Structure 1
Amino acid sequence: MATCSSEEAYDYNCTPCTQQERFVEAKRFCVECGEYFCSTCLAHHEKFGLTKGHTLVKCEEVSKESVPTCLSKCDLHTDKEEDMVCGDHDVVCCRVCLAKDHKSCQDIGYLPDVASTFKEEGGLEILDEDLKSRMKTLKLSYEKHAIHGAQLRMRKKTNIRRLKVFKESITELIETAVTEAEEDIENSLEPHICSTQKLTEAAKEELLKLSILSEDLINENNAMLEYKKALHCKRALREIQSNNDDCKMTHDNKYVDKVVKTLSSFLTDQCSFGAIKVSSTDTEFDIPNMCVLEGGYVCIADYHGRKIKLLDNDLNEDMTYDTRCLIWGVCAIDKHMIAFTMPSLMTVEMVEFTKNPVFKSSFSAKFHCRGIAFFENNLYMAGGGFLKEEPGQINIFDIEGNHLTKFEMKSNGNRFCAPRSLTVNTNNIFVTDCQKNSVVCLDFDGVWKWILKTTRFTFPWGICLTTNGNLLISGRGSDNIVVVSKNGEFLGEILNKDDNISTPQAIAIDNENSRLLVFGSKKPYLEIFNSNFCEI
C-alpha cells in the first residue's frame, strides 16, 4: 500500500486514512458514502452488510463531475440512496423501491450514468423545446377557451337582458292594447247601451199603457165605445211593433281580435326580441356607420334615408338632421358635435346637436371619403378603391379642413383595395379593407406595422377599440364580431348568428352604459350586448 507524508502526493487520497492523518492513494469512490477508499479500506468497506452493495466508481469519473458526490436519501428507506432511475415512470428511486415497485419496467438505469448521458446528448435542450412547444399549445388552448367563455358570458347576460326587455315590452304592449280596446268598446257600445235603455223605458211605458187599455177594453159593455177602444188598442200595437223592430242585439269580437292581432304581430317579429327598432322612410335600410357621444347618446348614419339620427341614452330617437345626399361615415368631435362623410360629393360636414341640429361647417375632401375618425384635433378618413374611384387611401385633415397628409401605397408595393372604416389611438391607425378581407395597422408616418388576413372573418366592415386596446371587427360576410389584439393577433369570435348577428356593419362601444351596439345591413334593428366581456 502506497503512503506518503504529503496530501498533495496523490490526485485522490483515501478519505478514512486522511482522517487519521495518513495519506494513502485512493482506488475507488463510493457514490452512497460520498468518500474515496484505498485498497485496504475498500476491502473492509465490502465486508460489511450496510455498505456491501454500494456503488463504486473510478476516482477519475468523480473529477469529471459524471457522478455526484452526494445522493438524496430515500423517503421510504432512509438508509438507502436514490441512485436509480425508472425511465418508464420518469422517477428517481433507491434500489429497494426499484425491486418492489418497478419489477416490470424496462427502462432502468443508474442515476449517475443516465444523468451523464442526458447531459451529453443535449437532453435539457430537447426538453426545453418540448416545454416551449407544449406551452404554446396550452396558450392557444387557453385563449380559445377564454374567448369561448367570454362569448358564453356575453350571450348569457344579453339573453337575460333581452328577456327582461321582452317582458317589459310585451307587458307594456298588452296594457296599451287592452286600454285601447277598452276605449274602443266604450266608444262603440255606450251609444247602443243608451239607446237600448231608452227603448227599455219606452217598452215599459207601452206595457203599462197596453195593460190599462186591455183592462179597460174587457170592462166595456157599450158596443160603440168598445169598438173605439179596440181601434185605440190596434194603433198602440202597431206603434209597439215598430219599436221592437228597431231593437237588434249584435255580438262582435273585433276588439279582442285586435288585441290578439297586435300581440301576434309583435311575437312573430323575431328581430324585436331585445333589439331597438329604428324608423326609416326608405324601403332600403342601411346603417354603414355610427358613433357614441358623451352621455350615452348615439349618432347613426342612415345611408338611404339621407339622415343623421341622434338616439338618446335610452336609444330612443331624439333628433334628426337631413343631409344633402347619401351619407356614410360619422364620428364624434365633442359632446355635441359630429362630423360625417358624403362620398359622392367628396365632402365632410359638421353638425352640432343641442336643442336642434345646427350646421356648423363643411369642406371638400377631394376624394370619395367613407370611414371617418377624430383624434387629437385631426380628422382621419378612409376611402377610394370602389368601382372607378381613385385608389384606396387614408387622408388626414385638421379640424379646419386643411389637408395634412395621404397614405396610399406601402413601400413594398402593397396598397389598400377598398378601405371602409377606421379607428385611431395614440400610436396607430387601424383600417378595415373589405375587398382584401384584411385589417391593417399603420403608424402616423404611414408605415404599415401589420396586416391581418384570416378565414375567421370575411368582408370586414366596422371597427372600434375596446378599453384595453384590442379591436372589435364586424365580419359582414361571415355574420360575426371578432376580437383582434393591438398587435394584429386574431383572438377569437365574440358574437355570431346564434346571437342574432346578421351581415353586421356599424359597431360601437358605449363605455358609459357598458354596451356594445351592432347594426346589420338588412334589418332596421339596433342589437345591444354587454361590452364587459369584450375585454379579452
Structure 2
Amino acid sequence: MASNFSGSLTQDSDEVKEMYCEECDRHSDGYATAVAFCVDCVDYLCVACQRYHERHFTTHKIHDSNNMPQEFYFEKCSTHPGQLVKFFCSECNKEACHECRNNEHVNCSDVNHLPTLASEIQESDELINIRKDINQLSKDIKDTEKVLDGKSELIKKQEENATDAIKEQSNKLVATYIQHHQDLIDDFDKTMEETIARLKKKRSELIQKVSEKERKFGEKVRKAETDMRENVVNTNTTFKLLMTEHLNLVGNLKALTVDLEQAQKLGQNYERMIRLITFSEEMEVLDTTEIPGQGCCFGIAYSNSHLVVSYYKLMLHDYLTIIRSSIKILSMSGKIVKSFDNGDYGQDLFNIPYYLTVSPDNTMIYVSDCGRNTVTCLTFDGEVKAIYKDDQLKNPHQLAVDEYGSVYVCGHDSNNVHLLSRDLSKVKILDKSHGIHTPSSIAYCLNTKKLFVGMNQSSIIKVFNVTLE
C-alpha cells in the first residue's frame, strides 16, 4: 500500500493522507510510514529503506517528506492485482502499475508518475488561465444577479397590479352570481308552491277513490271468508280420501323399489331419456322432445347446438359395485360426438361428476366431482386445464358462471360457496357469516348481476349482488 486515510472523509478538505513505504509492502508485507520519495525509482521509502537506498543508489534523487509528492490514485492493476496503478503512458494512452512500466512500457519514452504529473498540472499556465476565467465568470454572475434583482422588483409591481385587477373583476362576478342564484331560488319557490297545491288536490281525489275501493274490498273479503269456510269443510273430506290413496301409493312404491333392485342385480337396463320442453311466454308447455340417454344423467348444459351431459353408473362385477363416470357431448338427436372418461394415462377423470356448466365463450367445461371434492376445468377436446381442490370445499354441488368467466360452486357439506377465477384460482368464499348453510343449487342472472343460492335445509334463497373488485 502506498497510502492510508484517517480522520473525517465527508469532504475533500477533511482528508489526511499518510504515505507508507512501498519497499516494506513489496518485500516483507509490512507497513512503515514513508519519510522520503525516490524520483528515479518512483517509490516511497521509510527511514530504514531510505538509508539502504542512499547507500546502494547514490545517484538517485531523494525528496524528503516535505517535498515528496502525495499519492492519490489507489486503483489496483487488472494484470497485477497486488500492484497499484500509479503511472500513465502518454504514448500508449494507458495506465500502468510498477510491473507494467518495467515490462510492457520499458521502451516507451513518455511514462509519467501520476502524482508528479498532477502537481505539474497544478502549476501549468492553462490551469492559471482557467482560474482567471472562473473568477471573471463569478463576477459576471454577480452583475447578472443585480440586473435580475431589478427586473424582479418590476415584475413584483406588475404582479401586484394584476392581482388588484383580478380581485376587482372577481368581486363583480361574485355579485352577479349571487343575484343569479337568488333569482333561481325565487323561481323554484314559486314552482314548488304551485306543485304543492296540485298535489293536495290530487291527494283529496285519491283519498276518495281509496275509500271506495276499501269498501268494495271489504265486501270481497267477507265473501271470501264465507267461501273459505265452505272449502275447508270440503278439503277435510278430500284430504281423508287423499291419505288413503297415499298409503296405497307408498305400498306400490315399495314393491316397485324391490323389483328395481332385483332387476339391477340381474344386469337389466332401463330406458333413460333426456327430455327437452318448450314453454310459452305464459310458461305453458308447448312441445316436448325426447333424446335417448346414455345412462343415469345428472349434470346437463347447452353449448353451440350440443348438450354436455355427465353420467354416473353403478355396475356389479364379481360381487363388487364399480362406479363408472363420464362426460359426453351429444348432438340434439342424441348422437355421441365426444366422450371423456379417462385421463392421459388411462386413469378415471372423474369419480362422481354430479354437476357441470359451460364458460360464456363456450370453450371450457367446469365439472364438480363430489366423490373427490374437486372442480375440474377441461376443454371441449377433453384436455384438462386446471383442477381446484381445497380443504374448505366438501361435497361440491351445482356450479354457475358469470359473463366474466368467474365460477361459483356450492360446497354442500362445507356450508359455503367458493368464488373461483376462470383458471380455477380461489378468489373468495361465502360462508356461514353470509347466511350460507348446506348450499345445493346456484344460479347467476346476467341482467341483474345477482347470484342466487338455494340451500338444502332452508326454504330461503340467498341473493347476492355481484360486483368486480
- The reply to whether TM is greater than 0.5 is no
When normalised by structure 1's length, the TM-score is 0.38
When normalised by structure 2's length, the TM-score is 0.43
- Bigger relative contact order, structure 1 or 2 (CA pairs below 8 A, ≥6 apart): 1
Q: Which has the larger radius of gyration?
A: 2
